[in-house]
Structure 1
Amino acid sequence: MSTKVYVVFYSMYGHIHRMAEAVAEGARAVPGAEVRLWQVPELVPEDVLEKSGAKAARAAFAQVPVIRPDQLPEADAIIFGAPTRFGNMCAQMRNFLDQTGGLWAKGALIGKVGSVFTSTATQHGGQESTLLSFHTTLLHHGMVIVGLPYSEARQMTLAEISGGSPYGASTISGGDGSRMPSENELAMARFQGRHVAQIAAKLAAGGQ
């Protein structure tokens, strides 16, 4: 029996996309997991993206399909990735989730596994508040929240600057966006993807 895992993300300069790929890699390591990578629609005008340099960065993952809200119920588990904006999820992800009211009314996501990863420019730029506030929306949908347990000991490292918390994997981009996810951060993302897929498989098997 297969388990469908959707990794749904928004990325402007590629940091979250790189983390999303690592999450998907980890999920694919679970036997029977069918993993798909999706991105949510962009809201920023093309000319603004070009001036900021984001248009060129986004070209690297332009092949990733854009998801519709009505596709979410197809998955057994959904792992969301979004950068922080002032301690909350970015507007693109918020706008996407705000379109899931019809799914909420039908209880279409109740019992599905939900998990989140994020990025910030600085070490204390709102990673935990973004992950925790994101969980609120998933709980309203009746999803089963899965984080990053301390069995993933990489989140406790003091040997280097690194993201990662019990609420989910994360990365630090630097003020100018020049820092891409470290191997430690990518390893945590892989762990999270694998962990979520394993739990989703168990829940799906129990439901049968």
Structure 2
Amino acid sequence: MSDSLPYVLVLYYSRHGATKALAERLAAGIASQAGIQARLRTVAPVSATCEAVDPEIPAEGAVYASLDDLRHASGLALGSPTRFGNMAAPLKYFIDSTSELWLSGALIDKPATAFTSTSSLHGGQETTLISMLLPLLHHGMVYAGVPYSETALTRTQGGGTPYGVSHVAGTRSDRPLDDEERELAFAQGARLARLTLALENARRQAP
């Protein structure tokens, strides 16, 4: 990863690996665009009884996100499994810690998108995506979904939605991403990268 290139932060929580798989496809879409890179980060689980103490670096997968990862990002892709039609608690816990970024306006005018995975076809994908959209709007970010020019949106028999890509993982969370879900996640990442570059260039040229 080059320190000289702007990056899109792909920030996610994944319990069984489905949301992680989506995150990796979005990251591949971002990396397909010249002049920008993807930074994959995750968040730690939260304890039901007290503050959990986890190692600073997970045993495997993406490292835990810091506020600086978000502060210095030129764009953001936010991913979570559904929890009763809402984002998962560990991701919300991290988002709730970003007040200092809100106070400084660090994320204003930066593009963002969201993605999710559910165990069933009508498991709350769209409301989960909207639950992630709300704090992004409060931060002044510019939200970008998936346009219907992506024809996989009309072909998909699993995940989709114009609010952001989704995946149906199955009741055992063992269903892999299908072709349409992979296509949509890649396209969503590529679109976010293009928008990020355009807005980043506009910021640099502003007087």
Q: TM-score, normalised by structure 2?
A: 0.88
Percent identical: 38
Mapping 1:67-82, distance limit 5 Å:
67-82=65-80
Which amino acid counterpart does residue 72 of structure 1 have in structure 2?
Answer: L
Residues 126-182 of structure 1 show CA distances to partners (whole Å, capped at 9, x for unaligned) of: 000111121111000000101111111101116xx2101110001001111121211
Matching residue within 26, 29, 38 for 1:26: 29
- Contact preservation (8 Å) 1:115, 1:147: yes
More helix by share: 1
C-alpha displacement of 1:44: 4.8
User: Using the alignment, how far apart are the partners of 2:133 and 2:61 within structure 1?
Assistant: 28
User: Using the alignment, how far apart are the partners of 2:20 and 2:47 within structure 1?
Assistant: 17
C-alpha displacement of 1:111: 1.0
Structure 1 counterpart of 2:86: 88
Hey, which bits of structure 1, 4+ residues long, moved more than 3 A? Answer: none
Structure 1 counterpart of 2:171: 175
Structure 2 counterpart of 1:64: 62
Unpaired segments ≥5 residues, structure 2: 49-57
User: Using the alignment, how far apart are the partners of 1:97 and 1:44 within structure 2?
Assistant: 16
Matching residue within 9, 16, 19 for 2:19: 16
Q: RMSD between aligned alpha carbons?
A: 1.6
Q: Secondary structure at the match of 1:163?
A: coil
- Contact preservation (8 Å) 1:6, 1:78: yes
Mapping 1:1-208, distance limit 5 Å:
2-44=5-47, 62-157=60-155, 161-208=157-204
**Count of paired positions:** 192
Q: TM-score, normalised by structure 1?
A: 0.88
User: Using the alignment, how far apart are the partners of 1:44 and 1:62 within structure 2?
Assistant: 20
Which amino acid counterpart does residue 171 of structure 2 have in structure 1?
Answer: G
User: Using the alignment, how far apart are the partners of 2:18 and 2:41 within structure 1?
Assistant: 15
